[in-house]
Each structure stands twice: as structure tokens, then as C-alpha cells.
Amino acid sequence: MRIGLGEDTHRLAAGGPLRLGGIDIPHNQHTVGHSDADVLLHAITDALLGAAALPDIGELFPNTNDENKNRDSAEMLQLAFAKVATAGFQIVNLDCVVAAEQPKLSPHKQALRTRIAEILSIDTTQVNIKAKTGEGVGPVGEQQILQARCIALLEKTP
């Protein structure tokens, strides 16, 4: 068994929708980054790579490479997970936390779980999503940034 931790933060800017977990969520802000800036998929990618002791998302998909400009984070996650599988691991479960003051994410949790499971070809029961706010404090609470964290549990492939 191997555990990996992934974390990502992107600043928010005016105009939606918000790309999160591979889906578009209606909102008046979006995350800004070199790729599609999907903080949740980036955190999952790094958690999986970390658990397998592989290079992180920035090494595999550097923001200095034009090929990664506006790149779909779901594609990056699939490519990274292929490396994890090649290294001999499979996913036991993912436990994720998204910190966002707005929009409220509870109504979107099942859609997020479903999309992440689809991307990784795993069961939705292997994906958990929790949502937290900043309670009006700090960069999350002041709606300046969106953050995501993920812990991945992998096991050696039989």
C-alpha cells in the first residue's frame, strides 16, 4: 500500500464557468492557469504520482511547454495514471477536499465523483469529495483563490 498527497491552488478571475473535477460548474468566476487550471484534477494527479514515487505534475506537464497551454486536465490525469499503472499500482481510493467560498459545491459532489471515476476508469465508491469554505477569511474566504487537496491510496497490482 502507498499513500500520496496532492495539493493545488489557482487564483480566481471574473467570468465563468468554473472548471472543477473535469466538469463545468456555473459560476461568475473561473480559475486561472497555464492549462485549464482544474485544481481538483491537478491535486488528484499529484496524489497519484506521489504515491507511486513518480515525478510531479509540473515535471510531467511543465507550464513552459506550449503543448500544455489550455490543456485539458482530464487528459493529463489519464496520462499520469497510465504511468502509475505501468509502475504496478491500482487505486484503492481517493479522498479529496476542495476549498471554495463560492459556488456551493454540495449540489455538484455526485457529478464530480462520477466524472473523476470515469476519467480513471474506477468505481464512484473509490472517490470522495468534501467541500469547505474559508468562512469569509483569507484568500479562499475572500474569493481570491480556489484550493484542492487529495490523498490517494494505491496498492500493488496483483
What are the pLDDT digits (tens) for 18-64?
999 999 999 999 999 989 999 999 999 999 999 999 999 999 998 88
What are the boundaries of each domain within the chain?
2-156
Determine which helix (DSSP H) or strand (DSSP E) holds 36, and give its type and residue range. Answer: none
Q: Is 40 exposed, middle or buried (0-12, 13-18, 19+ CB in 10 A)?
A: buried
CA distance 99 to 7: 11
Residue 26: the pLDDT is 95
Residues 6+ apart with CB under 8 A from 116: 21, 22, 40, 41, 44, 94, 127, 129
What are the pLDDT digits (tens) for 80-124?
999 999 999 999 999 999 999 999 999 999 999 999 999 999 999
Residues 6+ apart with CB under 8 A from 51: 2, 3, 4, 84, 89, 152, 153, 154
CATH class of the domain at 2-156: alpha beta
Residue 158: the pLDDT is 83
Confidence of residue 134 (pLDDT cuts 50, 70, 90): very high
Residue 90: the pLDDT is 98
Coil, strand, or helix at residue 32? strand
